[in-house]
């Protein structure tokens, strides 16, 4: 796909400074560029690359004032990051697969596929499952029995959706996501062994949920594990059985959430955060990376840090003191020595 700078400016409600007819066919990083590509300057840290980039066009803010000549055609916009997101979406459309069912796919007769559905090679769709209109099922995807996939969903290669799970409209599941695996449930026996607890629930992903690669979402022991509308999850995240994650919460990589924990809406959770089970986390909670959450968070809109986590500002103050403990210990010892009464002869 080729777009002229003039066409891009019209798409992004921007203005052109330079050659309006220059053509681009791909996005690029500003430090890499390349003839026929378009890049962007959204962070002043990268301004020096604006003067040396070999990109044919460059998205910049309307108030950007170059300190040196810029060879690339400039497209000035109100919001650079919003514009590049819009432009990437446009380029992404060019890479979408054409509708159709691969001859190597295994689709059960009892499955129902909506208009314009794409099913890639060696994918399997079980009996009683429903795929909504214009959804894209890439190669080697497994969809079990009685699964519901909404419209305009995208399932990348290697995704596994197990029996009776539900995926809403406009959901994106990246490669090797597993939805509906058994939870970590075992009953200790008198002889010290463990007996598996059978999980008969399911997983419900509401609309506009995105799940990163290699993440696993366990089905409920009974009832459902629920990921509410607009949740965005990074790669390598573990969600235990009967967890509920509130609408528009975002979670970074390698976070683990133990069973039956309920996380509120509009929370922001950093990477490698660990939650113990059966917690309730208030709406708007912000948790710094590598924190451990071992008790309920009842007050909304708190920022937490540490293990176990507590108020972010208190943690930062405590850490400043912690780093000085050896020095403070020496001063304390000196003070004790100074005020210690002399020993009796």
Cβ neighbourhood burial of 280 (10 Å; 0-12, 13-18, 19+):
middle
pLDDT in tens, 19-35: 999 999 999 999 999 99
Mean pLDDT over the full length of the chain: 94
Long-range contacts of 94-103 (CB under 8 A, 24+ apart): 94/1, 96/136, 97/136, 97/138, 99/134, 102/139
Whole-structure pTM value: 0.82
Alpha carbon distance 59, 37 (integer Å): 11
pLDDT in tens, 244-265: 999 999 999 999 999 999 999 9
Q: In this predicted structure, what is the pLDDT of residue 317? A: 86
Q: Pick the catalytic residue: 138, 241, 248, 266?
A: 241
Question: Spelled out in words, what is the top-level CATH class assigned to the domain 101-314?
Answer: mainly beta
φ, ψ of residue 316 in degrees (nearest 5) = -60, -45
Q: Give me the half-sphere count of Cα atoms (radius 13 Å) on the Cβ side of residue 64.
A: 29
**Sole residue written with tokens 């519901």:** 148
Task: Domain ranges for the chain, please list them.
Answer: 3-94, 101-314
Q: Is 199 a catalytic residue?
A: no
Q: In this predicted structure, what is the pLDDT of residue 3? A: 93
pLDDT in tens, 159-192: 999 999 999 999 999 999 999 999 999 999 999 9
Q: Is the pLDDT of residue 339 over 90?
A: no
Alpha carbon distance 113, 129 (integer Å): 8
The correct CATH number of 3-94 out of 2.60.40.1120, 3.20.20.10, 3.30.230.10, 3.40.1390.10 is: 3.40.1390.10
Q: Strand (E) positions, 199-249?
A: 202-205, 210-211, 216-218, 224-227, 232-233, 238-239, 244-245
């Amino acid at each position: 796909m080729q777009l002229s700078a003039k066409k891009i400016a019209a798409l992004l409600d921007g203005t052109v400074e330079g050659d309006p007819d220059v053509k681009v066919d791909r996005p690029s990083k500003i430090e890499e560029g390349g003839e026929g590509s378009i890049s962007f300057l959204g962070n002043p840290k990268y301004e020096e690359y604006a003067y040396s980039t070999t990109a044919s066009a460059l998205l910049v803010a309307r108030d950007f004032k170059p300190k040196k000549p810029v060879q690339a055609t400039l497209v000035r916009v109100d919001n650079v990051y919003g514009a590049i997101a819009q432009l990437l979406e446009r380029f992404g459309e060019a890479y979408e697969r054409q509708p159709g069912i691969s001859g190597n796919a295994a689709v059960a007769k009892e499955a129902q596929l909506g208009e314009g559905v794409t099913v890639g090679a060696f994918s399997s769709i079980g009996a009683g499952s429903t795929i909504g209109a214009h959804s894209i099922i890439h190669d080697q995807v497994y969809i079990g029995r009685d699964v519901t996939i909404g419209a305009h969903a995208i399932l990348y290669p290697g995704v596994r959706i197990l029996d009776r799970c539900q995926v809403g409209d406009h959901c994106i599941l990246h490669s090797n996501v597993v939805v509906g695996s058994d939870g970590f449930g075992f009953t200790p026996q008198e002889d010290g062994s463990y007996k598996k607890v059978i999980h008969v629930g399911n997983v419900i992903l509401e609309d506009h949920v995105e799940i990163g690669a290699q993440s696993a979402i366990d089905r409920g022991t009974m009832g459902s594990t629920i990921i509410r509308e607009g949740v965005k999850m990074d790669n390598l995240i573990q969600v235990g059985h009967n967890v509920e994650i509130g609408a528009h919460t975002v979670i970074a990589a390698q976070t683990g959430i133990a069973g039956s924990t309920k996380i509120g809406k509009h929370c922001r959770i950093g990477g490698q955060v660990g939650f113990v089970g059966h917690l309730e986390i208030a709406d708007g909670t912000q948790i710094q990376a590598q924190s451990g959450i071992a008790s309920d968070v009842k007050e909304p809109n708190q920022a937490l840090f540490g293990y176990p986590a507590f108020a972010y500002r208190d943690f930062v103050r405590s850490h400043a003191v912690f780093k000085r403990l050896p020095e403070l210990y020496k001063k304390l010892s000196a003070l004790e020595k100074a005020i210690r009464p002399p020993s009796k002869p």
